[in-house]
Every structure is written in structure tokens, then in C-alpha cells.
């Protein structure tokens, strides 16, 4: 094992429902020393988060399916960067998986 590294399998992380039809697998929780959070979000077909306003930076990477931000639909490979003060309406008509990184927690 490499010193200073932590390894986990995403298949071992249990999903937690965050909204109806949307689950999160928290891969890295924030701490006092490092508030960053890293998670996989899964949207069931037709799931919608509603209005999502960001006080801090959010970086999303669409892994599979189609992710809508309320303005456009984004497919696999798309990286979406939401700056502080930005607002979007996360949803997916067909279902999707997205990695979400919140550097400030």
C-alpha cells in the first residue's frame, strides 16, 4: 500500500437517496483539514433535483446517460463547472451517472 493514499471500490460504497430518484455514493467526505467532497450521483430516468444554487465551486463530469442543467442536455465526457453564485436545475430524462467534486465542501 502506498503511504498517504487511500483506495476504495465504488461498488463497495452504499448509495444514499438525496432526492426522489437521485442517489449519491460519497467517495470522499469533507473534514476540517480538507473540506472537499467527491461523489457519484445517479439519476433515474425522469429524476429532477430542482433549483440548485451554488455558494461554492462545483465540478461535474457526466459518465453516462444524459444530464440536463435546465438549459442544455449534456452527454458522456462533458465537464460542467459551476462557479459560486451559479444556478442550475439538474435533471435527466433518460437517467445518468455523474461525478461531482466540491473543492470547498
Domain ranges for the chain, please list them: 20-102
Q: How many CA atoms lie within 13 A of 6 on its CB side?
A: 5
Would you state the pLDDT for residue 34?
95
Give which of 98, 22, 18 is closest to 65, Cα–Cα.
98
pTM: 0.93
What would the pLDDT profile of 56-84 be if each residue is shown by its tens digit? 999 999 999 999 999 999 999 999 999 99
Q: Please state which CATH number belongs to domain 20-102.
A: 2.60.120.10
Which grid coordinates are listed for 94?
Answer: 433518460
C-alpha gyration radius of the chain: 14
Would you state the pLDDT for residue 54?
93
What would the pLDDT profile of 16-57 be if each residue is shown by its tens digit? 999 999 999 999 999 999 999 999 999 999 999 999 999 999
Q: Taking a C-beta distance cutoff of 8 angstroms, is the pair 43, 94 a contact?
A: no
DSSP state of 93: S
Amino acid at each position: 500500500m502506498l503511504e498517504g493514499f487511500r483506495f476504495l471500490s465504488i461498488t463497495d460504497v452504499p448509495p444514499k437517496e438525496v432526492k426522489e430518484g437521485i442517489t449519491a455514493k460519497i467517495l470522499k467526505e469533507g473534514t476540517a483539514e480538507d473540506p472537499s467532497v467527491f461523489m457519484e450521483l445517479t439519476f433515474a430516468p425522469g429524476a429532477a433535483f430542482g433549483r440548485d444554487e451554488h455558494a461554492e465551486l462545483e465540478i461535474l463530469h457526466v459518465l453516462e446517460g444524459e444530464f440536463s442543467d435546465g438549459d442544455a442536455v449534456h452527454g458522456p465526457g462533458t465537464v460542467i463547472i459551476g462557479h459560486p453564485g451559479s444556478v442550475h436545475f439538474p435533471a435527466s430524462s433518460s437517467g445518468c451517472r455523474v461525478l461531482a467534486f466540491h473543492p470547498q465542501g
